[in-house]
Amino acid sequence: MFKGKLHGVHPPHMKNTAGNRPTRMPVPPMITVPMSMNIGAPAKPVVKPGDEVKVGQLIAEAGGFMSAPIYSGVSGKVKRLDEILSSNGRFDTAIVIESDGLQTEYEGLEKPVITDQKSFVDAVRACGVIGLGGAGFPTSVKLNVDPDRVHHIIINGAECEPYITSDTRTMIDNASRIINGAQLLQKYYTADNIIIGIEDNKPECITIMKEAGRGVPGFEVAELPALYPQGGEKVLIYNTTGEIVPEGKLPIDVGCIVINCTTLAVIAKYIETGMPLVEKVITVDGSAVANPQNLIVPVGTPIKDVLDYVGLKAEPRKVLYGGPMMGISVPNLDAPVMKNTNAILAFAEKEAADPTPTACIRCGRCVAHCPFHLMPLEIERAYNERDGAALKALKVNLCMECGCCSYGCPARRPLVQINKLAKGVLNKYNAELKEAEEKKKAKEAARKEAGVNG
């Protein structure tokens, strides 16, 4: 069994906006709401061009079990349904809504009635929430488990990406919502403990959460070292409970549920007020941004509007959804803020320029930095040979693409990119293995049959 510590790196924290209470940005004239914001099936639009909508009104229903409904973040009129190219390179439908600037609340908002675990999960589903830490996994699916299997509920307050402070602000400004959410979870899952993991570079959050959680049965604050990536799900589970999620298993298989602190606050808000997820707190920062700050914006707000509002001091040569370690670079500033967007970072030329890779010097830093003790340098060799068997042995499938290996590589090898490609090679190899096995079985079966007949 694995013992010891998970590794990581120390990128500069750059939490410039931690002291900045989020303010509401003026309503954008137009929002574009993509249907594929969550992992799983896209949502299905229930409005058509010309329809009037209000804040909190359903505009798209969940497209299946692994999906989440979407509500309008503005009041106004549906302009059209667009095909947009999303940041993952796929085409997606988006609902474009022209705002009337009034932000009239939908009159049909109703607080959900919760009586048991099932109705709680239904409420979470209805609220439209997905993993807001960035993963975008529909939260109701995570919570739809047998409560007896849950031993630890872990609230993710380890906002380990540089720059981003939106979860930090949730903990500071909305601690009571997080605690209300925690109490609900405790009520319906009766876990042994409910732990919020926070890194020690956020002492204010630690103090506030300790204070707010006093008296909640089983509630604990786990102070974690500020070593990136504490917020990685498997890392957080190991560092707060000592449990190891084995390859191919889920946190629930080791008795854990991990939920991001902002996700929990959104659920609590919905249960208290009936207002589903329609807006996001985002950190806007980066070397091209004139006035870094935290903003509250409707889901669907174009990045362009956000950057115009905060002001730019340089040409934004690279713009990211999320932080610099795992963020996705966006080519087109018409792209919208999504449910799981927690930051928009804009970088000027100097930070944006891609480094030139040089030859691997086999220094071992990528191995020493990988939280999961993988060997990116060997993975690259195996990938270059398209050696599926070696990639299988090297367990590239476990890579969470956290970026630690590339971050510390003195040769600037694009290791994360290689790992992504290597996963493709491994999948193909596994598929071929399976196919070969099935063929063999079929042959054997045929032979047996022939034997019986003959």
Partner 1 sequence: MANRVVSVNPHVYAPETTTTIMRDVIIALCPAVVASVLFFGVRSLLVEAVCVIVAVLCEWGFEKICKRPVTIGDLSAVVTGLLLALNLPVTIPLWQAAFGALVAIVVVKQLFGGIGMNFANPAITARIVMLVAFGANMTHWAPAAFSGAPADAVTAATPLSIIAGINGVSAGTNTVADLPSLLDMFLGARGGSLGETSCLALLLGGVYLIARKVITWHTPVAFIGTVLVLTALLGQQPLYQVMAGGLFIGAFFMATDYTTSPPTPAGKLIFGVGCGLITVCIRVWGNYPEGVSFSILLMNILNPYICQWTRTKPFGGVKA
Query: Binding partner of residue 319 among partner 1, ligand SF4, none, CB under 5 to 8 Å per kind?
Result: partner 1
Contact between 341 and 132 under an 8 Å Cβ cutoff? The reply is no
Q: Is 378 in the site for ligand SF4 (CB under 6 A)?
A: no
Task: Pick one of 234, 269, 339, 365: the residue that binds ligand SF4 (CB under 6 A).
Answer: 365
Q: Is 21 in the site for ligand SF4 (CB under 6 A)?
A: no
User: CA–CA separation, 122 vs 273, rounded Å?
Assistant: 16
Shortest spacing between CB 384 and ligand SF4, in angstroms: 12
> Which among 198-206, 275-283, 384-392, 403-411 is the span making contact with ligand SF4, rule CB under 6 A?
403-411
Contact between 299 and 276 under an 8 Å Cβ cutoff? The reply is no
Q: Is 389 in the site for ligand SF4 (CB under 6 A)?
A: no
Helix H segments across 127-232? 139-143, 166-173, 175-189, 203-212
Which parts of 413-442 interact with ligand SF4 (CB under 6 A)? 413, 415-416, 419
Q: Is 400 in the site for ligand SF4 (CB under 6 A)?
A: yes
Cα maximum dimension of the chain: 84
User: CA–CA separation, 193 vs 217, rounded Å?
Assistant: 8
Query: Binding partner of residue 376 among ligand SF4, partner 1, none, CB under 5 to 8 Å per kind?
Result: ligand SF4
Dihedral sign of CA atoms 417, 424, 245, 136 in order: positive
- Which stretches of the chain bind partner 1, using CB under 8 A? 2, 6, 9, 11-12, 162, 234, 238, 244-248, 315-320, 324-331, 333, 347, 351-355, 358-365, 367-368, 371-375, 377-378, 392, 394-395, 398, 401, 403, 406-412, 414, 416-417, 420
Q: Is 411 in the site for ligand SF4 (CB under 6 A)?
A: yes
Task: Pick one of 363, 431, 436, 442: the residue that binds ligand SF4 (CB under 6 A).
Answer: 363
> Residue 151 to residues 45, 87, 124, 245, 248: CA-CA distances in angstroms?
38, 37, 20, 14, 20
User: CA–CA separation, 217 vs 230, rounded Å?
Assistant: 25
Dihedral sign of CA atoms 320, 97, 38, 283 in order: positive
Task: Pick one of 364, 438, 442, 444: the residue that binds ligand SF4 (CB under 6 A).
Answer: 364
Q: How many residues bind ligand SF4 (CB under 6 A)?
A: 28
- Three-class SS of residue 19? coil
Number of H helices, E strands in the chain: 14, 17
Contact between 212 and 178 under an 8 Å Cβ cutoff? The reply is yes
Q: Is 234 in the site for ligand SF4 (CB under 6 A)?
A: no
- Residue 15 or 318: the one with the smaller Cβ distance to partner 1 is 318
Q: Is 216 in the site for ligand SF4 (CB under 6 A)?
A: no
Contact between 307 and 293 under an 8 Å Cβ cutoff? The reply is no
- Residue 6 or 296: the one with the smaller Cβ distance to partner 1 is 6
Shortest spacing between CB 338 and partner 1, in angstroms: 17
- Residue 69 or 229: the one with the smaller Cβ distance to ligand SF4 is 229
Residue whose structure tokens are 């786990």: 222
Residues that bind ligand SF4 in the complex, under the rule CB under 6 A? 360-366, 369-372, 374, 376-377, 399-405, 409-411, 413, 415-416, 419
